[in-house]
Structure formats: structure tokens, C-alpha cells
Amino acid sequence: MFETLKPEIELILNKPEATIDDRLQKICELLKERLEYYDWVGFYFRNGTKEELKLGPYAGEPTDHSIIPFGKGICGQVAVSNENFVVPDVKAQDNYIACSLTVRSEIVVPLFVKGENIGQIDIDSNTPDPFSSADERFLEFVNAKVAEILE
């Protein structure tokens, strides 16, 4: 499943006539549409020099969490740790920010440009514990390709 999506990701990103936000929006929509347990897909980026993340393009239900302080919630923790964070059950997490009552699990993978963590891709799922190491590797691939257009 992931292997068939990789060329589509590259095709979307290799369209310089489209804005970066438009390309990232298409990535979010593709992943949400094609991966049945990806119920919300979005990018967060460091907000200038502030110690916070700002919501970028996303696909799914609207969220009130357009700004997330570093260290708060799963996304905020990844901004500090620089490591992938897979949450099989969000109810078991103390430092979790609920975007929706239907969300059961989450995966966040940091996005690096020239070695610096500039943001992340965030996936919420209404399915308990659906994410595997294959999801992590795939999202790392997506972020590596996104980084190429942001350099």
C-alpha cells in the first residue's frame, strides 16, 4: 500500500507551478483518502523563532489547535525530542491534547531540513493502535521528500 503511494507523493511534490502549501494540502488529502485509518492528516511548522508550532495544511475535521507550545501534547513533545512518537491509545497519555473525541491513536514524525527540526506530520486515527513501523518509515519518506522542496 505505501509503495504505491510513494510515486504519487513524488509527483505531487515535483510540481513547482503549485505553491508549497498547495502541494502539502494535496499530500494530506491523498493520505487521508487512501489510508483508511488516517482520519486527520496535517503538517505543523515552527512558528518563526517562537517555541511553538503553527498549523499548516491539513485534511480532516477542523481543529482549534492551530498553535501548540513546544512540550505540550504529542506534537509539542516531538518538537522538543526530535523523535517519532507513536501513541497506540491517546487515553493512556497524560500529555495529550484532544483534537476530537473520536481520536483513538496518533503518530507524529518530525520534519528536518538541513538537520533542523522545522515541523512535523501529524496523523490522528479513530482506530485503536493501527500504526506500525511501516507507517513510521513511510511518513519519514514523505517528510524527506517534503524537505527537498523546502530547502
Domains in the chain: boundaries: 2-150
Q: What is the pLDDT of residue 95?
A: 67
pLDDT digits 0-9 by tens, 61-82: 998 889 999 999 999 999 999 9
Q: Name the band, by pLDDT with cuts 50, 70 and 90, for residue 92.
A: confident
Query: Does the pLDDT value for residue 99 go beyond 70?
Result: no
Q: How far apart are CA 145 and CA 42, in angstroms?
A: 15
> Looking at the chain, how many residues does it have?
151
Provide the percentage of residues in the chain whose pLDDT is more than 70: 95
CATH fold, domain 2-150, is Beta-Lactamase (3.30.450)
At residue 102 the predicted structure's pLDDT band, cuts being 50, 70 and 90, is confident
**Separation between Cα atoms, residue 3 and residue 75, nearest integer Å:** 26
What is residue 151's predicted lDDT score, i.e. its pLDDT? 86
- 18 versus 102: the higher-pLDDT residue is 18
Cα separation of 141 and 8, whole Å? 12
pLDDT, tens only, 21-60: 999 999 999 999 999 999 999 999 999 999 999 999 999 9
Cα(94)–Cα(116) distance, integer angstroms: 27
* pLDDT of 104: 92
**pLDDT at res. 98:** 64
